[in-house]
Amino acid sequence: MSMITTFVDRVNTALKQPDLRKKIIFTLIMFLVARVGTYIPAPGIDMKAFTDQASKGSIFDFINMFSGGGFKRFSIFALGIMPYINASIIFQLLAAVYPPLEEKKKEGEKGQQEVVQWTRYLTIVIGAIQAAGLAIYISTQSVVRMESSLLFIINTVVILTAGTVFLMWVGEQISIYGLGNGISLIIFINIVAEMPSGALVLMKKFLETNINIGLIKVFLICLLIIALIGAIVIFQLAIRRIPILYAGRNLQGKNSIASKTFLPLKVNTAGVMPIIFASVLMMIPDGFLRLLAVLSPTKTAPVMLTKLLGHGGALYVIILAALVFFFTFFYTAMVFDPMKVADNLKKSGGTIPGIRPGAETVNYLDRVVTNITWGGAIFLTLLAVLPVLLTQVLNIPLYIGGTGLLIVVGVALDTVQQVDAHLVMRNYEGFIS
């Protein structure tokens, strides 16, 4: 049986499961809602002039990637889901340095719901601030149709903030009633939706001068993308197996033959979040420099700072790499607690051969996770820096690089693994088996 036939058969098997079919259909409907919103323009702007202005900076390409084209069309979803991501980053950082917040998250479902609610409130605040900054910047670019700049700013803040809140709600609905993590899937569908147009722009750029050389460049870029996808898949699925030995017990409570299994530790425990967090945070200095360039009476200082901190600048690349590296370890520490794992092993009678239960197991797990996370951090850092280097050296659009591919492949794999879990629970073979 060929690979395609096997894949089609397993898709049909998944669609035959009523509960799984409902989740898939609901997710697709939410995708449609999220995409339609990117084509509904916000009022008060000359779209042609704004599109020309937005195409001048690579930072705008990055915003456009996360909003699925909504930014360049100045739609009601122009900000995308980025304010929610920023709010999540803030609360996760606060939880690491403010123990009461961490304790609140450990109080169970009630405590977690309170933190989620606070994240929503902060999303509204951040969305309003970002919308205000965008509106102020746009009002200085001679693309506004409204007579009053103040009215345009207020109108833009209300509409774009409401659009972000609605997208946040769509993502939460997908997480509850659909398949996979809703916020990640919204980012996923936005990137995928822009990839065809990005590929056409790239081909046109390469073929407009010399067709033969252009075809060679397109072929090399395709090979690079295929190699990156293969590397990302291997990297996302790679695990370190820790052997676990369980002491056997018979019905009389006496020792019997012990069973052996393993504890899988992912090389990339943090997933796609470090690169998303770092990339979103790096938009702040670029946006600040653009606003400073508009407000500054002398353009010398903003120009010098832009060369260093602006997108593609030397300092920008260094800070981006450092942030990705930091968030890889930080997020891994957030999602993997060696003390909790060691405690669960002890309660269930499991031990690591040659390692004593308790503190020694905690130290061993912590050491292993730290060692494998170094490899994950280096790989993620290279993927984060790669699109910036491609943009500067080869003048390739940003969304063709490693950032978008990592998010797309990572989210796709996570979603497929969730589908696998549903199928395996019902004694069916999954996609990855």
Across 126-140, 158-172, 197-211, the highest mean pLDDT is recorded for 158-172
Task: State how far the Cα of 305 lies from the Cα of 313, in Å rounded to an integer.
Answer: 9
Residue 30 has a pLDDT of: 92
Mapped onto helix, strand or coil, the DSSP state of residue 110 is helix
Per-residue DSSP letters for 362-429? HHHHHHHHHHHHHHHHHHHHHHHHHHHHHHHHT---GGGSHHHHHHHHHHHHHHHHHHHHHHHHTT--
pLDDT of residue 7: 64
pLDDT at res. 295:
61
| 298: exposed, middle or buried (Cβ count in 10 Å: 0-12, 13-18, 19+) | exposed
Neighbours of 390 (CB within 10 A): 18
Percent of the chain with pLDDT over 90: 10
CA atoms within 13 A on the CB side of 386: 20
For residue 20, the tally of other CB atoms under 10 A from its CB is 19
Q: Are 98 and 115 in contact (CB under 8 A)?
A: no
Mean pLDDT of 115-123: 90
Q: Is the pLDDT of residue 250 over 60?
A: no
Overall average pLDDT of the 425-431 stretch: 59
Helix (H, G, I), strand (E, B) or coil at 38: coil
Q: What is the average per-residue pLDDT within 27-53?
A: 84
Q: What is the band of 290 on the pLDDT scale with cuts at 50, 70, 90?
A: low
Buried b (16+ CB within 10 A) or exposed e, 330-341: bbbbbebebeeb
Lowest mean pLDDT among 165-169, 202-206, 248-252, 423-427: 248-252
**Cα–Cα distance, 228 to 65 (Å, whole number):** 19
Alpha helices in 310-347 (DSSP H): 314-335, 338-347
Inter-residue contact 202 to 218 (CB < 8 Å): yes
Q: Report the amino acid identity of residue 25.
A: I
Residue 307 near residue 353 (C-beta atoms within 8 A) = no
Per domain, the residue ranges of the chain are 3-425
What phi, psi does 113 have (nearest 5°)?
Answer: -65, -35
Nearby residues of 422 by Cβ (< 8 Å), 6 or more positions away: 14, 17, 19, 20
CA nearest neighbour of 242 among 360, 351, 328, 375: 351
Question: d(Cα 409, Cα 390) in Å, to the nearest integer?
Answer: 20
What is residue 352's predicted lDDT score, i.e. its pLDDT? 84
Task: Read off the pLDDT band of 386 (50, 70, 90).
Answer: confident
In the predicted model, is pLDDT for residue 256 greater than 90?
Answer: no
Main-chain phi, psi angles of 82, to 5 degrees: -60, -40
pLDDT of residue 291: 63
Mean pLDDT of all residues in 343-370 = 85
Q: Is CATH 1.10.3370.10 the right assignment for the domain spanning 3-425?
A: yes
User: Sign (positive/negative) of CA torsion 338, 342, 347, 349?
Assistant: positive
CA distance 365 to 371: 10
Interval 109-126 mean pLDDT: 88
Lowest mean pLDDT among 70-74, 274-278, 297-301: 297-301
Q: Per mean pLDDT, which range of 65-69, 90-94, 168-172 is the poorest?
A: 65-69
pLDDT given at position 160 = 93
d(C-alpha 58, C-alpha 279), whole Å: 13
- Span 309-327, mean pLDDT? 81
Q: What SS3 state is found at 264?
A: strand
Looking at residues 296-304, what average pLDDT do you find? Answer: 58
Mention every residue, 6+ apart, whose C-beta is less than 8 A from residue 11.
none
Residue 252's CB is within 10 A of a number of other CB atoms, namely: 6
- Of residues 268 and 299, the one with the higher pLDDT is 268
pLDDT for res 391: 67
pLDDT at 431 over 60: no
Determine which of 212-221, 254-263, 410-419 has the lowest per-residue pLDDT on average. 254-263
The larger pLDDT score, comparing residue 9 to residue 160, is at 160
Confidence band for 61, pLDDT divided at 50, 70 and 90: low
The tokens of 25 are what? 């259909």
The torsion angles phi and psi of 351, rounded to 5 degrees, stand at -135, 155
- pLDDT bin (cut points 50, 70, 90) of residue 307 is low
Q: Say yes or no to pLDDT of 415 above 70.
A: yes
Cβ(225)–Cβ(202) below 8 Å: no
Structure confidence by residue, pLDDT tens digits, 273-285: 787 778 777 777 7
Average pLDDT over residues 129-142: 82
Tell me the three state secondary structure of residue 147: coil
pLDDT at residue 5 tops 80: no
Summarize the confidence of residues 209-221 as an average pLDDT.
76
Nearest to 398 by CA among 201, 229, 210: 201
pLDDT band (50, 70, 90) for residue 296: low
| Segment among 53-62, 95-104, 141-150, 311-320 with least mean pLDDT | 53-62
Q: Which of 69-73, 141-145, 185-189 has the highest mean pLDDT?
A: 185-189
pLDDT for res 163: 93
CA 87 to chain centre: 14
What token pair was written down for 4? 């395609």
Question: What local confidence, expressed as pLDDT, does residue 333 receive?
Answer: 84
